[in-house]
A = this chain, B = another copy of it.
Amino acid sequence: MYVVKSPLPDHDLKTVSEALHGALVDLVDLSLVAKQIHWNVVGPRFRSIHLQLDEVVDSARTHSDTVAERASALGVPPDGRAATVASGSGIGTAPAGWVKDTDAVRTMVDALGAVITRMRERVEATGEADPVSQDILIGITADLEKHHWMFQAENA
């Protein structure tokens, strides 16, 4: 028996639900990694990167909320608990301790790159099954790619 009745047939629901679950875990971790570096970055570009990272945190928090509530709306209970995030994220472990500003930028280029690759696969996977969820994932991908460009530009 269900609590929230899905507007999707079972097969499609399975596809979309996996995509949303993966996106949720990646986005929660992205918010934690960006905060970690926000606190630990040092070097001449400290202030600039410190502020830029809070914009990534805001994006990641907003998008994770959208994705989790989309799962609920499809009748699938979302899971964004610490242990789930720690084991399931597509982002490599962020370094411990102070991080030089150049390393901070490189870490973010990698983290965003890893999430974007997986988001594009999810966009592709969901188009048939649920154009509504796909549209949400497309919007998030556009935003992440914008952040990605900015850190790459700083890396040049």
Contacts and interface: CB of A to CB of B under 8 A. Distances in A.
Interface string A39-52: 11111111111111
A77 B48 contact: no
A47 B154 contact: yes
Of residues A75, A113, A132, which shows the largest number of chain B Cβ atoms within 10 Å of its Cβ? Answer: A132
**This chain: copies in complex:** 12
A146 interface: yes
B81 A42 contact: no
A156 B86 CA distance: 30
Interface in A39-82: 39-52, 65, 68-75, 77-82
A4 B149 contact: yes
